[in-house]
Structure 1
Amino acid sequence: MLCHGHDVLGSLVDRETRCVHYHSNLDIIAIKFYCCGLYFPCFSCHEESGCGHPAVWPKERFNEKAILCGACGWEMTVEQYMSCHSECPSCRAKFNPGCNLHKAYYFEV
């Protein structure tokens, strides 16, 4: 699905990047997976895509854009996302703070 000019893959339910696995009002980010360079709303959607080579973002690459705000389309770096306190630095839309529980699926911790 095209979300703010970016292809976001997976089982999406809307253009704000919510998916069948995570679809609360706050589940509005997509993550560009390090292994394939493609945006997915969550690790389950990525796993279902059959990438076959899952890999997390290494710390030395945290300065690269890898997070898409589903509310406004702002792309942020991993570093910006990790320090944004669960809100988009561009539009101030709130993100799900529970995502912090899953960061090891996406980023080297």
Structure 2
Amino acid sequence: MNMQIKGHTVRGKVLDEETRCAHYHSEIDRIAIKFYCCGTYYPCYECHEEDGCGNPDVWPTEMFGEKAVLCGACGYELTVSEYLTCGSKCLTCSALFNPGCSLHKNLYFQT
């Protein structure tokens, strides 16, 4: 499934315009991650497993300056570095992100 969110295509089981999905849908679940392997935004690793490229790969540290995280509240694209240091809050609109996502960062970013 594809959904246009703030001018960006997000794939997976997206439920709403802030990128919540069938797997993660609390009030603060409002980011999508551009997967390094396919350059496509998904709300979570489970959506990518179900609908992705079938060849998961993480963002290498030398590419942490690339835009890879979409704020579902305002559409701002954070770089990997910005996301990892933002304190679970959008740098543009201050919408809160789920701090629990850091438990899965190894699935998205080289650690």
Runs of 5+ unmatched residues, structure 1: none
Match of 2:109 in 1: 107
2:47 maps to 1:57: no
Separation of aligned partners in 2, 1:62 and 1:18: 24
Match of 1:78 in 2: 80
Q: Percent identity?
A: 62
Opposite residue 64 of structure 1, the aligned amino acid is E
2:99 maps to 1:91: no
Match of 2:10 in 1: 8
Separation of aligned partners in 1, 2:7 and 2:80: 20
Give the secondary structure class of the aligned counterpart of 1:73. coil
Deviates most, 84-93 or 46-55: 46-55
2:46 maps to 1:44: yes
Question: Structure 1 residue 50: deviation in Å?
Answer: 4.1
Separation of aligned partners in 2, 1:50 and 1:89: 28
Runs of 5+ unmatched residues, structure 2: none
Q: Could you say which structure has the higher strand fraction?
A: 2
Separation of aligned partners in 1, 2:51 and 2:99: 25
Q: TM-score, normalised by structure 2?
A: 0.97
The Cα RMSD (Å) is 0.5
Q: How many residues align?
A: 109
- 1:64-95 residue CA offsets vs partner (Å, 9 max, x unmatched): 00000000000010000000000000000000
Give the secondary structure class of the aligned counterpart of 1:8. strand
Q: TM-score, normalised by structure 1?
A: 0.99
Structure 1 runs (4+) deviating above 4 angstroms are none
